[in-house]
Structures are given as C-alpha cells and as structure tokens.
C-alpha cells in the first residue's frame, strides 16, 4: 500500500509541475547549429550558403514528420535584387488556427559564421520541430527559418504578406540568439505596437516554473531603440505590424555578433536548452487556448520579475501627477524665496551653472581619451565599457571639485526658488521634446520631475537626500541603457577618424550630457539652499580631502585601465583590406582601413613590404598591379529613339565575372537632371536624380540588366558599375596582433550616356 501511495504521490507531483520536464534536446540543437555555422558557414542573404541552409532546414522539417515542408522563395526584396527565402515546416493540428515558431537562418556577412546570431535560433526552431513532430497538436504549428533578417527583416516581412493562411496565425514566437549568457532579453515590442500583456506574464511564469532566472526587459534601451527610425529588432516585429501577438527571445547583445568572432568556439550552448524549453512550454500552454488575437500599447518595466504594465493613458496620468507636484513644489518654494535686494540673489546664475556643468561633463567624457593617449589606441574601451563609465564618473567628480573651487569667484544664487524654477523649465522642455519622439520616453524625465519635486516638498533631510540622489538615475539610463555596449560600439567605432567629425560628435555628446545633467545640478542647489546645507556641502566638495579621495580613485582606475587588454578572444580589431581597380583609368590600389589605429600593421603587396607607424585608421599601400580584366567584364548596348524633344534609351548592361561576386551595383546619375521614365525588370531605389540597382550576396557570374529611360536635349546620364568580391585578386600578406581581416576586391567601370 505504501508503494502504491508513493507512486500516486509521484504522479501527482509530476502532473502538478505542469510537465516541467522538457523534451528539447540541447545536444541535438547544438549539432544543428554546428552544421549551419561551421559545415555550411556564413550565410548572408541570397548567398548559396543561405540557400543550402534553407534546403537543410526543409529536410529537417520533413524528418520531423511535418505534414508540409518547403522553401517560400523570394525572387527579390524591396530595393535589392537578391534571391532569398523562408524555410517553412507545417505540422497540422485539429484546428486551422496557427502558432508560428521562427528564427532567422541568415548571418550578417560573408565572414560572419553566425553561430549565435542566429544559427542558435534557427537550430532551436528545427529542434522544436523534432520535439513536436509526430504529435497531434490542437493548433497547427508553423516552423519558419527566415532569410534576410540581417538586411531589414526581409524574410518575415515577405512571409506575413504572402503566406496564404496568415489570417489564421494567432501567436508567434521568435528566437533570435540563444547563447548561454546570464542575460536573456524578451522583446514583445516594435515601433507603435506591443504584444498583449498576457503573453509577457505567461512567458515570465514559464521561466519561473522551469527554474530559469527571470529574463530581462531592457526598458530604457527599447524606449530609445523604438524611437529611432530604424533601430535594432527581429522578425517578430513583422507579425506585430499586422496585429499578431509575438514575442522575441534574444540572449545578451553584449557579444561580438555581426563579426567573425560570432563563431562556434565563442558560443555558450546552455542557452539553447533555456530558450528552447521555454518556447516549447509556451507552445504547449497555448495550444488550442490562445486568447483573442490583438496587440496593445503600453510601457513595460520588470520589477523583481513582476511586470509593471502601464498603458499609454497611465503614462499621461503619471506625467500629469509629476507636473502637478512640480507646480506645487514651485509655489511652495516660491514662498521661501529670498527677498529682493538680498545678497544671496546673484545675477547670471544660469550661465554660471551651465559653465560648471560643462566642466563636470568634459572631465568625465574626455577621461577615456586620456587612456587612449596613454595606450596609443583610438578605442581603448571596446572590451571594458562599464569600467570606463565608472572611470568617467571618477573624472567627473574631479570636475565637480574644480567647479566648487571656482564657485568662490563665480557665485550662484542662494535662492531655492530661482534654482527650482530652472529645474521645472528644463525638465518640462525635455519632457515635451522626448514625448514628441516617443511617448514611452516620457517616463524617464517624468520620474526625474517627480523625485526632484518630492525632494523639495518633503522636509526630512534624509528622505530629501534619497530622492535627490535617485532623481538623475532614470534620465541617464536613456544614455547608459541596458544595451549601452551595443550602442556605444555601434556609434563609436563607425565614426570617421578626422578632426571635423571628432569636433562635431564630441560637441553633440557634451551638449546632450550637459542638458541631461543641468536640471539635477539646479535641483541639488535648490534642495541644499532650501535646507540651509549649501555652504556645508560646498566646503566639503571644494576641500583638499575630497580631491585626495577622488584623485586616488582616478589614479587607481587609470592604472587598472592601462593594464587590462583592450582586445581579446571576443573583441578584435576590424581590418578592411580592399583592392580597387578602376577599369576606365587602368589604375589599381590597395586600401587598408580600420576603426582602430593601424599602428604596427605590416603588409606585403606587389613584392613590397610596408609597415605603418603613424596613428592612422586608413592607408593606401603603394604598388601598381596590372588590371586583370577577366575578373569583371562590363559592356552595354544602347538603342536610342527620338520622341519629340527627348531621346528614349533602351539600354542593356552585361556583367560577366570570373567567379560569383559578393555584390554588384549599377547606378544611373543624372546630375541636376531628374531621371525620367525609368523602367526595368530589376528592383531599384531612386534618390532624386540617382537610381541604384543592387545585386547582393553572390549573384550569378553572368548578369544582363535591361533599362529604359528618357534623356532630354543635351542632358546626359552617367552609368557606373561596381563589382565587389569577398576575396583578393592579387595576393596580400598582412600581420597585426588581435585583428581579423575582411578582404574585398572592387572593380569599377563608368561612362556617360549621351544623345546621339
């Protein structure tokens, strides 16, 4: 009897756990990822490797006993002549209602294996097909490996516009990177739409039930990201745009994605089990029980794993409360203002405070340049961004000491009303400007306004200090967000190395940081003046003891940062080596570029050795290699027909290459003359008088391009053809520590098309 009871208890416990055991095999998913990223290799959109990966996914869907498996071909996408597609596997359920499980199968470029982004996601989708294959779900399950995600969600956009049963899709799960990093982000959002809150709640519950750490929702990063015209995103967005609830799972973006270092050696496989198991359980949870299809609009914050969902009307209510409290604080502090003629009422307070803020900001911002000078590097912060932020804070504290010392000569008003009035004006302006960009951006200045108002209204000194100390945190999280590493690397390493750009970029950042810091400096002055503590704090900050403490911290940080490696197994210097051949001029050159200084680079080209000793990010290596025209042959035929005051051109451009090129670009430029009547069977983009046609990721080596257009009178059109290979025609040997090379060979040919 006791044995029988034990069996019954075990059965009940297993049943009560919701079947927390997962059938998802991490070993199988890792094997699939290895095949995609190692055996097949880099899979840029439209490449033979991407086509091979799509075909492989279809075979796996067939082996998983999907009822239907095929490649949905994309002959071309908007503006790009590239053949790509979506591998689709359909497991029919008893209901025609559908759940889509997706991940993108392409990688960012011809040198990027894409083990993490997104071989891991595609592998998880394929393994989930094996998990559910042969079962009898209530919902029809659709497994998708999208092509072209890295080129702007091309595959998923094509799918939602062309899949015949798209109206039957009730729910979509996207897996975009399943690395085993501690951080896993969920993303139920896109521009102007959010998945329903029940999907977020269910996702968090499944993480908890399966024993995984709570995922992160990067609130501040997404508020900025989805305020940008073209921020980072994934294929779930295409489904949200057509009203289908969708959520994305992405492991830590602070990894070397979109680089050759996104390889199998740097991949942490534990993330496959985590993400795959969660998606498996979510599918089982909603199988046959998906709530009504809808999207919502809200602001989301995860507080200890609890979702705080604020609808847009709640944001406006929160801002209204903050404005009311700030107006109340302004009226209260106005009654405590200094009378006219009081010596504490000093003129030019705003200008002086801006001057002090600039000193603090400049000390903090340019501290990284000091490490760069000491180490001879342009980007010494690449692998240690958080450490450099702390270092900048220590340097900013020195700027605060300098400002306090200067306050003897540049006194500011001691009237709390004068100070808080400026807090109110600045934050109201910032709130209005951010609200015009994205309503979700209202929350950060709203929190600042609320906390600073409470710091004025509450008389307890300790509570005042707490609210004052917390007030800048959320505002600065817009700049130093959860995705700060991704954003800083994306912007910092793409800036050209010239003085004009340096001045413009640094000026813009300093103005932005000053604008963000200024209300909190005014707020601190208002609270300290209102508490009678201003002189006490000023004396402490301007003291020698304060300088010694922050100086020691700054020196120790400097010593630490000049010794830690800037580049490592994950972060390498990018080195772009391009052979350029101008067919018209018969000239050739070798260009070397990098976002980092090329100092120490050794290059052997045209039997000559060159060593770069200067601090430069680009160099043209000497040598004149004879032009081998067999690599790229371009010619055309032009049939002209007079039609009134213009001439109609029927042009055919022929491009022949020795091997399949990486990219072919044809541009027609009319100068000040708009292109008239342009027609072609190829996809193209037009920007005023410039039309561009692009064939991306290894088109055929034989290409014929038909075009028709009109040219008026003596006007002429310039035709330019660029053919780019992902290899070097002439052998080049290079040597540079901690660097990877992206080789390119570019042939260019151009001519004027004139009326005869």
pLDDT tens-place string over residues 7-34: 343 333 333 334 467 899 999 999 999 9
User: Is residue 308 one of the residues assigned to a domain?
Assistant: no
Q: Are residues 495 and 554 in the same domain?
A: yes
Q: What is the pLDDT of residue 548?
A: 96
User: Is residue 590 one of the residues assigned to a domain?
Assistant: yes
Nearest of 638, 642, 754 to residue 705 by alpha carbon: 638
Range of the domain at 743: 573-756
Q: Are residues 555 and 673 in the same domain?
A: no
If you average pLDDT over every residue of the chain, what do you get?
91
**Secondary structure element (H or E) that encloses residue 417, with its range:** helix 416-437
pLDDT tens-place string over residues 366-399: 999 999 999 999 999 999 999 999 999 999 999 9
Residue 47 has pLDDT above 90, yes or no: yes
| Average pLDDT of span 51-55 | 97
Q: Are residues 529 and 618 in the same domain?
A: no
pLDDT band at 755 (very low <50, low <70, confident <90, very high): confident
pLDDT band at 756 (very low <50, low <70, confident <90, very high): confident
Residue 193 has pLDDT above 50, yes or no: yes
User: Is residue 85 one of the residues assigned to a domain?
Assistant: yes
Q: Are residues 700 and 615 in the same domain?
A: yes
Q: What is the pLDDT of residue 10?
A: 34
Q: What is the pLDDT of residue 41?
A: 97
| Average pLDDT of span 309-338 | 93
What pTM was estimated for this model as a whole?
0.92
Q: Are residues 32 and 151 in the same domain?
A: yes
Of 531, 561, 591, the residue at which a domain comes to its end is 561
pLDDT tens-place string over residues 598-651: 999 999 988 888 999 988 999 998 766 776 778 899 999 999 888 777 888 899
User: Is residue 719 one of the residues assigned to a domain?
Assistant: yes
Q: Which two tokens stand for residue 715?
A: 């006007």
CATH number at residue 115: 3.40.630.10
Highest average pLDDT, of 15-24, 331-340, 508-517, comes from 508-517
User: Is residue 415 one of the residues assigned to a domain?
Assistant: yes
Distance CA 644, CA 98 (A): 58
pLDDT band at 344 (very low <50, low <70, confident <90, very high): low
Q: Which two tokens stand for residue 374?
A: 């000491």
Q: Residue 611's beta-bridge partner residues?
A: 602
User: Is residue 5 one of the residues assigned to a domain?
Assistant: no
For the chain, what is the domain count? Answer: 3
* Percent of the chain scoring above 90 in pLDDT: 74
The answer to whether the CB of 287 falls within 8 A of the CB of 137 is yes
Distance CA 549, CA 547 (A): 6
| Average pLDDT of span 160-170 | 96
| Average pLDDT of span 402-428 | 92
Distance CA 203, CA 196 (A): 11
Q: Are residues 600 and 737 in the same domain?
A: yes
| Average pLDDT of span 394-410 | 94
Q: Are residues 287 and 403 in the same domain?
A: no
Of 561, 592, 618, the residue at which a domain comes to its end is 561
Q: What is the pLDDT of residue 20?
A: 60
Q: How many beta carbons lie within 10 A of that of residue 469, not counting itself?
A: 13
Distance CA 300, CA 136 (A): 36
pLDDT tens-place string over residues 211-253: 999 999 999 999 999 887 777 889 999 999 999 999 999 999 9
Q: Are residues 532 and 633 in the same domain?
A: no
pLDDT tens-place string over residues 263-320: 999 999 999 999 999 999 999 999 999 998 999 999 999 998 899 999 999 999 999 9
Residue 4 has pLDDT above 70, yes or no: no
Of 526, 561, 596, the residue at which a domain comes to its end is 561
Q: What is the pLDDT of residue 333?
A: 92
Q: Are residues 292 and 349 in the same domain?
A: no
**Secondary structure element (H or E) that encloses residue 144, with its range:** strand 140-146
User: Is residue 328 one of the residues assigned to a domain?
Assistant: no
Q: Are residues 351 and 281 in the same domain?
A: no
Q: Are residues 137 and 284 in the same domain?
A: yes
The answer to whether the CB of 700 falls within 8 A of the CB of 669 is no
The answer to whether the CB of 241 falls within 8 A of the CB of 193 is yes
Q: What is the pLDDT of residue 16?
A: 38
User: Is residue 385 one of the residues assigned to a domain?
Assistant: yes
CATH number at residue 648: 2.60.40
The answer to whether the CB of 139 falls within 8 A of the CB of 170 is yes
Q: Are residues 500 and 355 in the same domain?
A: yes
Cβ-based neighbours of 2, under 8 Å, separated by 6 or more: none
């Amino acid at each position: 009897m006791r044995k029988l009871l034990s069996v019954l208890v075990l059965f009940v416990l297993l049943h009560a756990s919701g079947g927390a055991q997962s059938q998802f095999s991490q070993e199988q998913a890792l094997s699939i990822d290895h095949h995609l990223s190692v055996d097949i290799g880099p899979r840029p959109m439209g490449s033979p490797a991407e086509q091979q990966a799509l075909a492989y996914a279809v075979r796996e869907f067939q082996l998983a006993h999907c009822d239907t498996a095929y490649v949905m071909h994309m002959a071309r996408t908007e503006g790009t002549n590239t053949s790509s597609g979506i591998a689709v596997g359909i497991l029919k359920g008893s209901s025609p209602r559908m759940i889509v499980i997706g991940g993108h199968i392409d990688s960012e470029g011809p040198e990027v294996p894409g083990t993490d982004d997104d071989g891991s996601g595609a592998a998880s989708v394929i393994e989930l097909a094996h998990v559910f294959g042969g079962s009898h779900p209530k919902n029809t399950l659709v497994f998708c490996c999208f092509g072209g995600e890295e080129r702007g969600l091309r595959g998923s956009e094509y799918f939602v516009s062309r899949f015949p049963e798209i109206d039957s899709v009730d729910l979509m799960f996207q897996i975009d990177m399943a690395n085993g990093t501690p951080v896993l982000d969920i993303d139920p959002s896109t521009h102007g739409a959010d998945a329903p809150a029940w999907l977020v709640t269910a996702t968090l519950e499944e993480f908890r039930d399966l024993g995984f750490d709570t995922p992160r929702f990067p609130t501040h990063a997404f508020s900025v990201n989805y305020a940008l015209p073209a921020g980072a995103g994934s294929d779930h967005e295409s489904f949200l745009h057509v009203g289908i609830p969708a959520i994305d799972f992405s492991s830590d973006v602070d990894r070397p994605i979109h680089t050759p270092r996104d390889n199998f050696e740097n991949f942490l496989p534990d993330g496959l089990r985590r993400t795959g198991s969660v998606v498996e359980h979510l599918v089982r949870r909603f199988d046959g029980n998906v709530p009504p299809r809808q999207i919502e609009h809200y602001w989301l914050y995860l507080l200890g794993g609890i979702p705080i969902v604020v609808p847009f009307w709640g944001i406006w209510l929160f801002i209204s409360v903050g404005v009311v409290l700030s107006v109340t604080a302004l009226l209260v502090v106005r009654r405590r203002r200094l009378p006219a003629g009081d010596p504490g009422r000093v003129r030019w307070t705003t200008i002086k405070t801006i001057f002090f803020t600039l000193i603090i900001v400049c000390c903090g911002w340019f501290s990284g340049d000091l490490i760069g000078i000491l180490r001879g590097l342009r980007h010494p912060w690449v692998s240690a961004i958080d450490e450099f932020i702390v270092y900048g804070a220590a340097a900013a504290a020195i700027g605060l000491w300098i400002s306090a010392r200067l306050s003897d000569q540049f006194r500011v008003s001691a009237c709390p009303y004068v100070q808080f009035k400026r807090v109110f004006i600045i934050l109201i302006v910032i709130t209005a400007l951010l609200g015009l960009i994205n309503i979700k951006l209202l929350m950060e200045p709203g929190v600042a306004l609320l906390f600073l108002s409470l710091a004025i209204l509450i008389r307890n000194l300790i509570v005042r200090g707490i609210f004052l100390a917390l007030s800048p945190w959320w505002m600065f999280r817009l700049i130093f967000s959860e995705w700060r590493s991704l954003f800083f690397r994306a912007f910092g390493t793409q800036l050209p190395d010239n003085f004009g750009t340096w001045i413009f970029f640094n000026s813009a950042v300093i103005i932005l940081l000053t604008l963000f810091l200024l209300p909190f400096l005014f707020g601190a002055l208002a609270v300290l003046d209102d508490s009678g503590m201003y002189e006490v704090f000023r004396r402490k900050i301007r003291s020698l003891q304060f300088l010694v403490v922050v100086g020691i911290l700054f020196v120790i940080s400097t010593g630490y940062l000049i010794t830690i490696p800037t580049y490592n197994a994950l972060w390498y210097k990018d080195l772009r080596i391009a052979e350029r051949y101008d067919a018209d001029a018969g000239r050739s050159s070798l260009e070397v570029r990098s976002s980092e200084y090329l100092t120490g680079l050794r290059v052997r080209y045209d039997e000559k050795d060159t060593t770069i000793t200067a601090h430069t990010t680009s160099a043209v290596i000497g040598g004149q290699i004879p032009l081998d025209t067999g690599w790229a042959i371009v010619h055309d035929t032009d049939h002209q027909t007079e039609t009134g005051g213009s001439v109609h051109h029927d042009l055919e451009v022929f491009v022949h290459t020795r091997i399949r090129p990486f990219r072919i670009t044809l541009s027609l430029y009319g100068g000040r003359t708009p292109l008239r009547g342009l027609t072609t069977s190829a996809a193209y983009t037009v920007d005023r008088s410039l039309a561009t046609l692009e064939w991306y990721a290894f088109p055929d080596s034989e290409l014929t391009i038909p075009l028709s257009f009109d040219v008026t009178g003596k006007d002429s059109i310039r035709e330019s053809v660029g053919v780019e290979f992902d290899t070097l025609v002439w052998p080049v040997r290079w040597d540079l520590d901690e660097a990877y090379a992206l080789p390119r060979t570019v042939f260019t040919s151009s001519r004027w098309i004139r009326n005869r």
